[in-house]
């Protein structure tokens, strides 16, 4: 597509900053780097070039879509801030977990199938642009008609793509409400898309639970993730309404062995024994959904996303001794090694005993209860984030972990483990409270020219 105004990814992706010192990236207070002058070419500059190429304001959305397809054809360079949107699987599952999250669930308010399909097409075109660091819409934030609201909200104009991934999922409510099928999807609700049972200790807020559609936006810059959700919500005006949304600020998992294991708000390494992109056979077994019935073919390459907002009683935790903390988790706080000995990645030895014949890894420890050996061999790909949402009005931070896991089937890979933990994991029983919940079927990846979940509507 040489010569095509939108061809290739945003120019900043592989270009080092070459401008004068004043244009070099100052440090972002969040620890990342602010975009370079080159990066600034991205959303605004790229669009300007498109205008010069004869595709000025009023450029047909169809052309933009075509071009986005072409733009995605060339894989980005290794140091690129772009994570490809198209593929066999949606990005945002096994792609390296970024530092920031904005997840939003939507209720679909339109009752018309064509409007839902159009929304999914519009979201796809916008996702193709946003994940490449381009603005939403044909005319972006500042190049549209002066007398109309801009198509993009503009707060990401000077930022690069920030490794943005957008992952879309369908909740049970998309298929039926109160037993009545919706959008002509009779009989299409996958059997594994269950209504999650009530778990002991659950204190779920309906306003933080459920949703017909979900969008997980992950990026290395919070403004990029928030911008993406905001613009998708804006595109959906009149068809969908935000039901809940959640910000997350520090990943609590690694999804590749190249990443360092991060820490959760209990101060422990989290994600040590997570499934990772390198475990391809295990991913087939435990993460990718199997399209059991012919009508579930749209789930091939997809997964199920479990989201749980888990409040952590951090004030109580902070008054708990180090020894007790380690016993509750089953690992050391410093290195993350199992209490049976070794290093972070040493396999735990659950038979090893200490003083008085007591197991070194306590029977009620979180790690033991979550280990595949205690759960019929099941594993999951965790992709959660820390969160703090202000305070609770009685002197405590409302802080915790926004748990996200991708599993092949929640009936075998989530419910039994959660049930066992809710009953017997002392960490879960005494220090955690689940306040929000969602389960979504995640369609396979979008092919160039296709749209999110297109197989479901074929
Ligand atoms: C139902 C699934 C799980 C929930 C809910 C959950 C909540 C939760 N976990 C931690 C902290 C840690 N979890 C760790 C390991 C771990 N946790 C789960 C599942 C759930 N966690 C699994 C499957 C595993 C892996 C077990 C294994 O195979 O060894 C760890 C240890 C380090 C690691 O391997 O990641 C920590 C620490 C918190 C704080 C939390 C809720 C707030
Ligand atoms: Fe855990």
pLDDT tens readout for residues 286-328: 999 998 898 999 999 999 999 999 999 999 999 999 999 999 9
What pLDDT digit, counting tens, does each position of 182-197 carry? Answer: 999 999 999 999 999 9
Distance CA 35, CA 26 (A): 8
HEC string for 216-281 = EEEECCHHHHHHHHHHHHHHCCCCEEEEEEEEECEECCCCCCCCCCCECCCCCECCCCCCCCCCHH
Closest C-alpha residue for ligand 1 atom 1 = 418
Over range 245-253, report the average pLDDT.
97
Among candidate residues 153, 165, 160, 132, the one with its CA nearest the CA of residue 231: 153
pLDDT of residue 72: 47
Side-chain-side CA neighbours of 395 within 13 Å: the count stands at 2
Tell me the best of 253, 269, 366, 434 to mutate to test the pocket of ligand 1, counting ligand atoms within 8 Å of each CB and taking the most. Answer: 366
More confident residue, 23 or 189: 189
For the CA of 269, the closest atom of ligand 1 is 37
pLDDT of residue 79: 84
Query: What is the greatest pairwise CA distance in the chain?
Result: 80
C-alpha 258 to ligand 1 mean position (Å):
20
**Which ligand sits closest to the CA of 371?**
1
What pLDDT digit, counting tens, does each position of 124-147 carry? Answer: 999 999 999 999 999 999 999 999
Closest C-alpha residue for ligand 1 atom 3 = 418
Distance CA 175, CA 177 (A): 7
For the CA of 261, the closest atom of ligand 1 is 35
C-alpha 101 to ligand 1 mean position (Å):
19
Over range 391-415, report the average pLDDT.
97
Query: In 3-state terms, what secondary structure has residue 177?
Result: strand
C-alpha 139 to ligand 1 mean position (Å):
45
Closest C-alpha residue for ligand 1 atom 42 = 401
C-alpha 252 to ligand 1 mean position (Å):
9
What pLDDT digit, counting tens, does each position of 209-224 carry? Answer: 999 999 999 999 999 9
Whether the per-residue pLDDT at 53 is higher than 80: the answer is no
For the CA of 331, the closest atom of ligand 1 is 31
183: number of Cβ within 10 Å: 21
Whether the per-residue pLDDT at 421 is higher than 70: the answer is yes
Q: What's the whole-model pTM score? A: 0.87
C-alpha 1 to ligand 1 mean position (Å):
46
Pocket around ligand 1: residues whose beta carbon is below 6 Å from it? 264, 266, 268-274, 308, 310, 312, 329, 331, 366-367, 370-372, 380, 400-401, 403, 417-418, 421, 432
Query: In 3-state terms, what secondary structure has residue 273?
Result: coil
Q: What is the DSSP letter of 406?
A: E
pLDDT of residue 41: 41
DSSP H helices in 263-333: 280-286, 314-317, 322-329
Distance CA 296, CA 313 (A): 40
Over range 411-435, report the average pLDDT.
97
Tell me the best of 270, 373, 385, 433 to mutate to test the pocket of ligand 1, counting ligand atoms within 8 Å of each CB and taking the most. Answer: 270
Closest C-alpha residue for ligand 1 atom 30 = 270
pLDDT of residue 77: 80
The ipTM is 0.99
pLDDT of residue 74: 65
Output the six-digit token pair for 114: 């064509």
């Amino acid at each position: 597509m040489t010569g095509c105004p939108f061809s290739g990814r945003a120019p900043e992706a592989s270009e080092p900053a070459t401008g004068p010192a004043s244009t070099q990236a100052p440090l972002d207070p969040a620890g990342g780097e602010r975009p370079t002058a080159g990066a600034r070419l991205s959303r605004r500059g790229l669009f300007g070039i498109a205008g010069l190429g004869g595709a000025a304001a009023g450029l047909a959305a169809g052309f933009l879509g075509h071009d986005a397809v072409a733009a995605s054809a060339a894989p980005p360079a290794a140091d690129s801030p772009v994570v490809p949107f198209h593929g066999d699987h949606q990005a945002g599952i096994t792609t390296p977990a970024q530092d920031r999250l904005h997840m939003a669930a939507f209720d679909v308010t339109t009752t018309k199938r064509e409007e839902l399909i159009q929304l999914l097409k519009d979201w796809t075109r916008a996702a193709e642009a946003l994940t490449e660091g381009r603005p939403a819409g044909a005319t972006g934030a500042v190049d549209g008609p002066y007398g109309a609201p801009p198509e993009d909200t503009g707060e990401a104009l000077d930022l690069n793509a920030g490794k943005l991934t957008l992952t879309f999922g369908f909740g049970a409510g998309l298929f039926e409400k109160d037993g009545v099928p919706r959008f002509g999807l009779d009989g299409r609700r996958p059997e594994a898309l269950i209504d999650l049972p009530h778990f002991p200790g659950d204190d779920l807020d309906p306003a933080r639970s459920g949703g017909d559609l979900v969008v997980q936006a992950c990026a290395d810059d919070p403004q990029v993730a928030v911008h993406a959700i905001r613009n998708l919500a804006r595109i959906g005006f009149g068809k969908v309404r935000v039901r809940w949304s959640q910000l997350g600020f520090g990943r609590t998992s690694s999804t590749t062995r190249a990443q360092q294991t991060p820490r959760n708000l209990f101060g422990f390494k989290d994600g040590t024994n997570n499934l990772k992109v390198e475990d391809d056979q295990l991913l087939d077994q435990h993460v990718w959904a199997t399209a059991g019935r012919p009508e579930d073919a749209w789930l091939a390459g997809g997964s199920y996303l479990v989201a749980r907002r888990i409040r952590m009683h951090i004030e109580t935790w902070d008054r708990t001794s180090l020894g007790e903390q380690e016993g509750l988790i089953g690992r050391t706080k410093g290195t993350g090694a199992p209490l049976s000995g070794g290093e972070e990645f040493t396999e735990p030895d659950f038979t090893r005993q200490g003083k008085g014949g007591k197991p070194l890894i306590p029977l009620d420890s979180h790690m033991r209860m979550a280990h595949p050996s205690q759960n019929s061999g099941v594993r999951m790909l965790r992709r959660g984030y820390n969160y703090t949402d202000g305070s609770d009005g009685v002197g405590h931070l409302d802080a915790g972990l926004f748990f996200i896991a991708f599993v092949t089937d929640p009936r075998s890979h989530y419910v039994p483990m959660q049930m066992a933990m809710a009953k017997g994991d002392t960490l879960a029983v005494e220090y955690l409270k689940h306040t929000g919940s969602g389960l979504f079927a995640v369609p396979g990846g979008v092919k160039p020219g296709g749209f999110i979940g297109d197989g479901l509507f074929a």
